[in-house]
């Protein structure tokens, strides 16, 4: 079968996309012909990581209209390949382009089957994508097996696990598909068609250590897409690192696309051992991590540093143990402080995140967070503060009563609890900003990632 796998604007063009790269590798292994292309890097916008801006359809629409001629050419290129199926990876910021281009393709070649997948399709609102008249399948959760089954069942009228599909105008729900037990069995992502020079991080290789996350924090949405936590073996990860150096010799850095790179410390330390004993030169591993109580030992941090795991983003989220418990995070503020202190000792200074106005956060909890920041600011490079706790597709959304949320109001950022209303959150955010600037700490929110990253690379 011939399959096109695509990404359309707008996504932060930091690195080649690992999602369709994994899908492509798997389909090629099964003997299919794949045309993979990241159209997102073909339209450059300076604020590509500004989610607040790009999640508004009007802004996506405006960019689309300004680039119509180029988009027509894209559609011609896609149709010239004559794909039987087209798979599109959809994030919220890519909704308008993905739907419009699906329409353009269908209007020109009705029998091409369009498959939407990716994190947006796993969210409840995203599952409605199947209602779109130009979408034939909406895949949720892990994609490899579902995509292969769709393609290989060639128009089957029976429900397929892992997707919603249309059969004679009716929508069939195949239900949840069991995830792979052993992620080592997937082939390495196929980046062969991507030009790394087109991305912000030209010498960075996206890699995945695990699938899913071993924690289940109350405010996190990851379980909508990944139900179970599964780790790759250290051998398999190290073999991919070696494969990367022989295939893409310009690579210097590795970016972990994991929910949390240090969920499985045994595996990470084994990867470190391979890197150290083979004398592999890596500029840095970059990734998001947890305050993992197993990182409270000096020898562990020392080994991580030796193996170049040195650029970390760490979600600390609050300085209050009471709130950490409600968030279902298995560490205390004192442990977080201790970990940051040891990391600092070995010259690893992470960027850390906090959430303002968690539903149960009182003035006293907020004060504890301010005090915590005063104590640890010398150990970190940057602090990001989310101005609100997002409610949607997470436990806070499914069980608001457990967290004292008294007015859900459609979730998002508009909800209220006795101790956290939009007005209270705004006030705390302003106090936090003043506190950070008083302490002289670099602060950025993710919307400014591109500028932050560019400045960092130029320094
Ligand atoms: C790494 C990462 C980033 C990186 C790299 C992004 C990049 N350019 O590559 C950085 C840090 C830059 C980033 C930024 C942001 N991110 Co981000 N990020 C992730 C993260 C942790 C991993 C994504 C990943 O690579 N996973 C590994 C691959 C293999 O998994 P996958 O993408 O889910 O793909 C599988 C399936 O979904 C499916 N699939 C995927 N595509 C398709 C297509 C088809 C046709 C099919 C059949 C199946 C399929 O199959 C794949 C293989 O099994 C996810 C969380 C997560 N783990 O999903 C969030 C996530 C993707 N990010 C998210 C968000 C919101 C953001 C930000 C907006 C954050 C912010 N507030 O600023 C920004 C900017 C977004 C933008 N405009 O580009 C959301 C997206 C949700 C949405 N609404 O669509 C996620 C899901 C986190 C979350 N739970 O909220 N992010
Ligand atoms: S550690 Fe991070 S990814 Fe894992 S559940 Fe918590 S917030 Fe989500």
User: Confidence class of residue 385 from pLDDT cuts 50, 70 and 90?
Assistant: very high
CB atoms within 10 A of CB 33: 13
Residue showing tokens 């359309």: 8
Range of the domain at 164: 2-173
If asked whether residues 83 and 119 sit together in one domain, one would say yes
DSSP per-residue codes, 215-258: ---TT--GGGT--S-EE--HHHHHHHHHHHHHH-TT--EEEE-S
- Find out whether 370 and 431 touch, Cβ atoms under 8 Å: yes
Q: 391 CA to middle of ligand 2, Å?
A: 15
If asked whether residues 221 and 149 sit together in one domain, one would say no
For helices 68-80 and 95-108, the axis angle rounded to 10 degrees is 50
Residue showing tokens 């970016």: 255
Of 32, 88, 119, 393, the one to substitute when testing ligand 1's pocket (max ligand atoms within 8 A of C-beta) is 119
Please report whether residue 189 resides in a domain: no
**Atom 25 of ligand 1, nearest CA residue:** 257
pLDDT given at position 124: 73
Ligand nearest to C-alpha 121: 1
Q: 218 CA to middle of ligand 2, Å?
A: 9
If asked whether residues 217 and 85 sit together in one domain, one would say no
- Bridge partners, 117 (sequence order): 89
Q: Give CA–CA dist 250/258, Å, rounded.
A: 23
Backbone angle region of 66, left / alpha / beta, with phi > 0 → left and psi within -120 to 50 → alpha: alpha
Please report whether residue 180 resides in a domain: no
For helices 57-66 and 68-80, the axis angle rounded to 10 degrees is 80
pTM: 0.95
If asked whether residues 425 and 352 sit together in one domain, one would say yes
Ligand nearest to C-alpha 87: 1
pLDDT given at position 330: 96
Confirm or reject: Cβ of 14 under 6 Å from ligand 1. Answer: yes
If asked whether residues 80 and 223 sit together in one domain, one would say no
- The winner for highest mean pLDDT among 261-265, 386-390, 441-445 is 261-265
If asked whether residues 276 and 424 sit together in one domain, one would say yes
Confirm or reject: Cβ of 40 under 6 Å from ligand 2. Answer: no
pLDDT digits 0-9 by tens, 140-184: 999 999 999 999 998 789 999 999 999 998 999 999 999 999 999
If asked whether residues 405 and 292 sit together in one domain, one would say yes
Q: Using CA of residue 355, residue 359, residue 362, residue 368, what is the dihedral sign?
A: negative
Q: In the chain, pLDDT over 90 holds for what percent of residues?
A: 88
Tokens of 208: 């995945």
Q: Give CA–CA dist 295/351, Å, rounded.
A: 16
Domain count, the chain: 2
- Average pLDDT for the chain: 94
Please report whether residue 183 resides in a domain: no
Q: 19 CA to middle of ligand 1, Å?
A: 8
Confirm or reject: Cβ of 307 under 6 Å from ligand 1. Answer: no
Ligand nearest to C-alpha 129: 1
pLDDT given at position 271: 98
Residue showing tokens 């419009």: 100
DSSP per-residue codes, 162-226: TEEEEETTEEEE--PPPPPS-GGGSPPP--TT--GGGSSSTTEEEE-SEES-S---TT--GGGT-
- Bridge partners, 352 (sequence order): 314, 383
Please report whether residue 105 resides in a domain: yes
Query: Domain of 346: which CATH number?
Result: 3.80.30.20
CB atoms within 10 A of CB 185: 11
Please report whether residue 60 resides in a domain: yes
Q: Are strands 230-231 and 210-211 parallel, antiparallel or unpaired?
A: antiparallel
Confirm or reject: Cβ of 421 under 6 Å from ligand 1. Answer: no
Q: 326 CA to middle of ligand 1, Å?
A: 26
Ligand nearest to C-alpha 217: 2
Region 307-328 average pLDDT: 97
If asked whether residues 74 and 114 sit together in one domain, one would say yes
- The winner for highest mean pLDDT among 114-128, 182-196, 443-457 is 182-196
Q: Give CA–CA dist 72/131, Å, rounded.
A: 25
Domain boundary among 135, 156, 173: 173
Confirm or reject: Cβ of 87 under 6 Å from ligand 1. Answer: yes
Q: Give CA–CA dist 356/420, Å, rounded.
A: 9
Q: Residue 288 CA: which ligand 2 atom is closest?
A: 2
**Atom 8 of ligand 2, nearest CA residue:** 220
Picking from 444, 357, 347, the residue whose alpha carbon sits closest to that of residue 405 is 357
If asked whether residues 355 and 403 sit together in one domain, one would say yes
Please report whether residue 192 resides in a domain: no
If asked whether residues 238 and 130 sit together in one domain, one would say no
Confirm or reject: Cβ of 316 under 6 Å from ligand 2. Answer: no
If asked whether residues 155 and 227 sit together in one domain, one would say no
Q: Give CA–CA dist 415/400, Å, rounded.
A: 10
Please report whether residue 34 resides in a domain: yes
- pLDDT of 125 > 90? The answer is no
Please report whether residue 394 resides in a domain: yes
Q: 225 CA to middle of ligand 1, Å?
A: 10
- Residues 6+ away with beta carbon under 8 Å from 336: 291, 316, 372, 376
Query: Domain of 28: which CATH number?
Result: 3.40.50.280
**Atom 3 of ligand 2, nearest CA residue:** 259
């Amino acid at each position: 079968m011939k399959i096109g796998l695509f990404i359309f604007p707008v996504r932060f063009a930091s690195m080649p996309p690992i999602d369709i790269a994994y899908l492509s590798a798997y389909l090629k292994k099964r003997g299919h012909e794949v045309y993979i292309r990241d159209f997102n890097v073909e339209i450059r916008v300076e604020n590509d990581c500004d989610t607040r801006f790009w999640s508004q359809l009007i802004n996506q629409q405006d960019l689309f209209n300004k680039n119509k001629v180029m988009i027509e050419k894209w559609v011609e290129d896609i149709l010239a390949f004559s794909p039987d199926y087209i798979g599109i990876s959809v994030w919220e910021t890519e909704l308008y382009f993905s739907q419009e281009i699906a329409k353009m393709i269908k209007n020109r070649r009705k029998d091409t089957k369009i498959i939407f997948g990716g994190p947006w399709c796993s969210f409840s609102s995203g599952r409605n994508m199947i209602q779109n008249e130009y979408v034939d399948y909406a895949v949720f959760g892990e994609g490899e097996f579902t995509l292969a089954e769709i393609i290989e069942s060639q128009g089957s009228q029976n429900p397929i696990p892992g997707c919603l599909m249309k059969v004679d105008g009716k929508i069939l729900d195949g239900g949840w598909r069991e995830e792979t037990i052993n992620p080592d069995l997937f082939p390495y992502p196929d980046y062969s068609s991507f030009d790394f020079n087109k991305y912000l991080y030209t010498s960075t290789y996206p890699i995945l250590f695990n699938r899913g996350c071993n924690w289940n924090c109350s405010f996190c949405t990851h379980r909508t897409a990944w139900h179970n936590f599964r780790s790759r073996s250290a051998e398999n990860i190290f073999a991919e690192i070696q494969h990367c150096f022989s295939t893409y010799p310009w690579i210097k850095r590795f970016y972990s696309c994991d929910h949390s790179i240090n969920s499985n410390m045994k595996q990470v330390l084994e990867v470190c051992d391979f890197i150290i004993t083979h004398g592999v030169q890596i500029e840095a591993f970059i990734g998001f991590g947890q305050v993992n109580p197993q990182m409270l030992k000096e020898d562990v941090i020392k080994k991580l540093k030796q193996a170049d795991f040195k650029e970390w983003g760490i979600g600390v989220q609050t300085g209050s143990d009471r709130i950490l418990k409600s968030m279902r995070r298995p560490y205390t503020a004192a442990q977080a402080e201790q970990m940051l202190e040891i990391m600092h000792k070995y010259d690893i200074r992470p960027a850390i995140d906090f959430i303002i106005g968690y539903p149960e956060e009182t003035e006293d909890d907020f004060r504890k967070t301010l005090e915590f920041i005063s104590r640890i600011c010398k150990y970190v490079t940057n602090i990001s503060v989310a101005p609100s706790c997002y409610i949607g597709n997470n436990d806070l959304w499914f069980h608001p009563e457990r967290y004292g949320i008294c007015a859900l109001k459609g979730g998002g950022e508009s909800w209220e609890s006795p101790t956290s209303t939009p007005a209270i959150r705004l006030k705390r955010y302003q106090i936090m900003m003043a506190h950070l600037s008083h302490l002289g700490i670099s602060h950025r929110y993710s919307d400014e990632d591109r500028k932050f990253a560019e400045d960092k690379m130029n320094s």
